[in-house]
Structure 1
Amino acid sequence: MNRRKGLFLVITGAAFWGLGGTVAKKLFQQYQIDVDWLVTFRLLIAGFLLLTVQFFGKDRSQILAVWKTRRTAIQLIIFGLLGMLAVQYTYMASIEHGNAAVATLLQYLAPVMIIVYLLFRKQTVLTPRDLLTVALALIGCFYLLTNGSISQFYVPKLAIFWGVLSGIAVAFYTLYAVPLLKQYDSLVIVGWAMIIGGFALSFIHPPWQMDFSSLPLEAYVYLAFIIIFGTMIAFWFYIESLQSLAPKESSLLGSIEPLAAVLTTVFWLKEPFGLFQWVGTACIIGMILLLAMNTQGETQRDGSHASEA
């Protein structure tokens, strides 16, 4: 039962994350919303909403208790800055310079990065499945970024740069969250991490520096979707899934995310997507599904290794 709940949470959260990225691209394109402002605003509001849900629905004492232990407080600040903020900003920056489909697919190099990390720490062994996974990732990225032409990048270099950083941030975010979740509810960890990240970015772009009067009703609807579904629920469900799924498994079973981002980017935003980019997309999604077919025992071992890391 817990496993089925975990699967539902990670797939639902991933779908909202992919859709939220496409909606963000719509805001960048049509309403010239600044990426720094959007990340700051969505983190602060979503974080506040999550802590509010914790206050009225669960053990409210945890909201402040997480700060009473120095070691836990430091871990939470690191998670908020190098995990939550890094994931949010790099992903949105990749979308701004490219599109949601490419940004999401590059972000899904995170499972490969987790495998490499576990190999480096000698906490797992390299299997034929891992070799095939890496091959699919490399082939997929090549076609995705070049559309089959080696003479030039089909995707802007800045979009690639931020997309790869986003993958690294997701890998860190997934592994680093495990020890914190053993002590506190996911609402507390995700909520405070969002507020920490949003507060830090406020020094670069204060959230109140925005002319809301110039935005039509449609833009407010998009903002609400990004904050509630694309941020609050997406991150909450993903982190909550780590309670019943291993970190590598959670990072892989969200294969619906790149699919949602690609389909909405192509069919809703009408972004061009070449034939070889579809081949690259298939390779990366195939990589995710291949890794997701690991047995439960294997993923549990990886989870115990990751928590030790």
Structure 2
Amino acid sequence: MTLPTSYQKVPGLIMAISSAIFWGISGTCAQYLFEEKQVDPAWLVTWRMILAGAILVIFSIASEKKIAFEIWRKPKNAIKLVLFGLLGMVAVQFTYFYSISLSNAATATILQYIGPVFVVAFYAFKNKKWPILAEYAALTLALTGTFLLVTHGSLEELVISEKAIFWGILSALALAFYTIQPVGLLRTFSPAAVTGWGMLVGGVFFSLFTQPWELSGSWDSGTISAFAYIVIFGTVIAFYFFLKSVTIIGATFASLLCSVEPLAAALTAVFWLNVSFFAMDWIGTLLILLTVVVLTLSKEKK
């Protein structure tokens, strides 16, 4: 993989890293809302998807005009979009935030980063091909990193609850589905349209169960700031920056730089919310991040 070195590529590098940092910090903001302000995870997910989805749809309409609605014209595409909204967006958002509420932003974000391993496993099964050596190495790194993260190397006890582990792994599976399912739509329609409509559909559907019109938690300036950050910086701007960086430095390198996200979540959780993160946690984090690096570089090589 040739690294972008031209000065024209610098804005792309900054945008890719910034999007990852914004995503990571949004996880810590969610932890703050759950622990300090007693905001319900399902309530937060609903409003995040509705508001961010509406903003992205408006952006898509403003930039693409009528094309933004083309995704609804064919029933086949409409069904795929609804499934993406319900089984992709709702699943990945809720499992991630609920995992945060059971553990912390750092652990939940790192566990979710096992998702690419499930993507590799899916395509290996679909294409009836054994994984290549690099993918086996990535699997080993992911399993070892996860083991250290949840046990600190001890075979006798867990350092986070079994429920937190379950929802963290479920979050990784949801991320894998979220990555694979909309590929067909993204070949035809813009990411802003697919993601925006998916969020809006998922948020409206989820609202039938979460009753978002009833305010959740204790609200003050801190609550408003954290909530606004999650919607604006942690969703809309992060998404826009990432897409823009892909056009400048390419999808492979942009995705690789997004490995900064778990580090951003870990550092902000440690220094802002005083989350305990030990040597084994950092080693486990490093191994899981190496998983992303190995898979990204092996994909580029192929």
Pick from 29, 37, 43 the counterpart of residue 43 of structure 2.
37
Instruction: Tell me the distance in 2 between the aligned counterparts of 1:155 and 1:26.
Output: 18
What one-letter code is carried by the residue in structure 2 that aligns with 1:218? G
- Aligned residue in 2 for 1:70: 75
Q: Deviations over 1:110-143 (max 9, x none)?
A: 1111111121122655222222111111110000
Q: Is the 8 A contact 2:82 2:198 kept in 1?
A: yes
SS, match of residue 293 in structure 1: helix
TM-score scaled by length of structure 2? 0.88
SS, match of residue 59 in structure 1: helix
Q: Is the 8 A contact 1:111 1:252 kept in 2?
A: no
TM-score scaled by length of structure 1? 0.86
Instruction: Tell me the distance in 1 between the aligned counterparts of 2:187 and 2:58.
Output: 21
Q: In the superposition, relative to structure 1, how do residues 93 and 17 fare at CA in structure 2: closer, same or farther (>3 Å)?
A: same
Instruction: Tell me the distance in 2 between the aligned counterparts of 1:237 and 1:221.
Output: 21
Query: In angstroms, what is the RMSD of aligned CA positions?
Result: 2.7
1:258 aligns with 2:262: yes
Q: In the superposition, relative to structure 1, how do residues 97 and 273 fare at CA in structure 2: closer, same or farther (>3 Å)?
A: same
Q: Deviations over 1:158-204 (max 9, x none)?
A: 21111111111111111222221222121111111111111111011
Structure 1: tracts of 5 or more residues without a match: 299-309
Aligned length: 296
Stretch of structure 1 that moved more, 156-165 or 26-35: 156-165
Structure 2: tracts of 5 or more residues without a match: 1-6
Pick from 279, 292, 296 the counterpart of residue 275 of structure 1.
279
Identity across the alignment (%):
39
Q: In the superposition, relative to structure 1, how do residues 295 and 35 fare at CA in structure 2: closer, same or farther (>3 Å)?
A: closer
Pick from 45, 53, 58 the counterpart of residue 52 of structure 1.
58
Instruction: Tell me the distance in 2 between the aligned counterparts of 1:290 and 1:113.
Output: 14
Pick from 12, 15, 21 the counterpart of residue 18 of structure 2.
12
1:140 aligns with 2:135: no
SS, match of residue 181 in structure 2: helix
What one-letter code is carried by the residue in structure 2 that aligns with 1:207? P
Q: Deviations over 1:12-59 (max 9, x none)?
A: 333221110011101111111111110001110111111122222x11
Q: Is the 8 A contact 2:135 2:294 kept in 1?
A: no
Instruction: Tell me the distance in 2 between the aligned counterparts of 1:26 and 1:182.
Output: 37
- Aligned residue in 1 for 2:204: 199
Q: In the superposition, relative to structure 1, how do residues 128 and 95 fare at CA in structure 2: closer, same or farther (>3 Å)?
A: same
